[in-house]
Amino acid sequence: MTTINRAIPPAIRPIEPFSLQTPRRETLGNGIPAYFFDNPHLDLIHLLLQVRTGSLYQPEKHVCNFAFSLLKESSPHYSPQEVSEKMDYYGTNVSVNVGMDCVQILISVPKNNMADILPVVSGFLVSPEYRPDNLRIMQDKEIKNLAYNEHKTDYCSWRIMWKEMLGDTFPAVSQFASIETLNALTTSKLKKFHQQCFCAENVTLFVTGNTDPQIEDLIRKAWEPIPHGTPSPQLPELPALKEPGRLICQEMPDCLQSSIVLCCLSMGYNDKERTAFSVLNTLTGGYFSSRLMQNLRERQGLTYGVSSSSTFFGNQSVFAINSDVNADRTRQAIDACFEELQRLQEEPVSPEELDMVKNYMAGIQLRAADTTVTSMQKFAYWRRFGLDETEMYRYLSDIKKVSTEEICHLAKKYFSYNNFTRIVVGNNLANE
């Protein structure tokens, strides 16, 4: 039996030439664009409805999440129990992901069951009848979750971050959730929001599987009833923070850990420097061997994990570093984070480290589109920003071109100490 020496990494091989499937575009009778990723070997049909709305579009707290999360319980023709039984019987799954500027509804249905179940799913997605009893159940559940989460330092730190970053531009999101905001919801508010945002002008359809003319006809009948309406407007730009670089502390006595978030406004997805910045982010805290992991976890033992990431919405993003650390070493952990950010500004990254990160990122990107379903999902994400499957080739090509000099330049441009709002929940550093 051969023993694997885990101290020796596997050989790195260049990416062989490949091509992603170009979807077939159709247009439904109501104008909805539909992209078909044909796969004759996949009899489980996957349909992705992408809706241009999200929490940033809601008029008041929670409305978007409740309006889309309660769809399966809101059939105009069947009770929630009947819908659940039908979906189980016909092997159907419907999942909803509510984002900041996009809602995605993913439906998977066996091909042979499309005619039986698709009208049921279409009914509660297109013409939901929200029931007070189901709303009350979800309200009670979220009130209990809120009571639990308000004692979690990580939940509170992210809540403060979005309040600071979004400010008065999106008050419905930056407002803290409370029992009052949850109880203020009504079925009429949910229905009004759904009618405003779930219109043909806001919906894009993506389909993959073994489709044929009969299946396409079922799909058209399901989604062509989506009515016309007013398209969601472009999201406004966030203004520069009035007090960048401030320290915000929320003390939680007797906490063994503090949650820290270091955050700043950053570039949009289509920014010309975005790919190079993604390399910088990966170096910083975007994978297990990142600079922050090596320092805070491996060398100093301050945390189990630390990460950095960008959240994109509209034409902007928020870049954040976050970690849970030992409460009595909170200041040390924050200082260690900024030490690594300073190193990236002053010390050129070695070619070996940079190549390792580039190869890691290329592998992650390829794995994210290695099936018809994942290719469809990646394409749907790119379409949000006006891009298509060629984004994959551009991204892989641009990663190779990122230099150590560019990494230093971007670190100096974005990683200045005064750019970051520092949020601590747990240990109150302001009292030190």
Query: pLDDT tens per residue, the chain (432 residues)?
Result: 677 887 777 777 777 677 788 999 999 999 999 999 999 999 999 999 999 999 999 999 999 999 999 999 999 999 999 999 999 999 999 999 999 999 999 999 999 999 999 999 999 999 999 999 999 999 999 999 999 999 999 999 999 999 999 989 999 999 999 999 999 999 999 999 999 999 999 999 999 999 999 999 999 999 999 999 999 999 999 988 878 889 999 999 888 899 999 999 999 999 999 999 999 999 999 999 999 999 999 999 999 999 999 999 999 999 999 999 999 999 999 999 999 999 999 999 999 999 999 999 999 998 888 899 999 999 999 999 999 999 999 999 999 999 999 999 999 999 999 999 999 999 877 565
Which residue's structure tokens are 């949000």?
Answer: 384
- The whole-number pLDDT of residue 18 equals 72
Confirm if 57 and 232 have CB atoms less than 8 A apart. Answer: yes
Task: Mention every residue, 6+ apart, whose C-beta is less than 8 A from residue 255.
Answer: 153, 327, 426, 427
Q: Which helix (H) or strand (E) holds 390?
A: helix 390-401
CATH topology of domain 24-223: Cytochrome Bc1 Complex; Chain A, domain 1 (3.30.830)
Stated pTM of the model = 0.93
Q: How many angstroms separate the CA atoms of 138 and 270, rounded?
A: 37
Q: How many angstroms separate the CA atoms of 410 and 278, rounded?
A: 10
Q: How many angstroms separate the CA atoms of 226 and 34, rounded?
A: 13
How far does CA 99 lie from the centroid of its chain? 6
- The whole-number pLDDT of residue 7 equals 74
Task: Mention every residue, 6+ apart, whose C-beta is less than 8 A from residue 225.
Answer: 30, 122, 126, 127
Which ranges constitute the DSSP H helices of 110-208? 114-126, 132-149, 153-166, 171-174, 179-183, 187-197
Task: Return the domain boundaries, the chain.
Answer: 24-223, 247-431
Q: Which phi and psi angles does 222 have, rounded to 5°?
A: -75, -40
Q: How many angstroms separate the CA atoms of 71 and 121, rounded?
A: 9
Confirm if 47 and 206 have CB atoms less than 8 A apart. Answer: yes
C-alpha separations of 103 from 20, 68, 332 in Å: 25, 8, 39
Strands 257-266 and 247-251: unpaired
- The whole-number pLDDT of residue 202 equals 98
- The whole-number pLDDT of residue 430 equals 58
Q: Which helix (H) or strand (E) holds 110?
A: strand 103-110
Confirm if 74 and 129 have CB atoms less than 8 A apart. Answer: yes
Confirm if 278 and 314 have CB atoms less than 8 A apart. Answer: no
- The whole-number pLDDT of residue 20 equals 84
Confirm if 353 and 283 have CB atoms less than 8 A apart. Answer: yes
Q: How many angstroms separate the CA atoms of 245 and 333, rounded?
A: 17
- The whole-number pLDDT of residue 1 equals 62
- The whole-number pLDDT of residue 292 equals 97
Specify the CATH architecture of the domain 247-431: 2-Layer Sandwich (3.30)
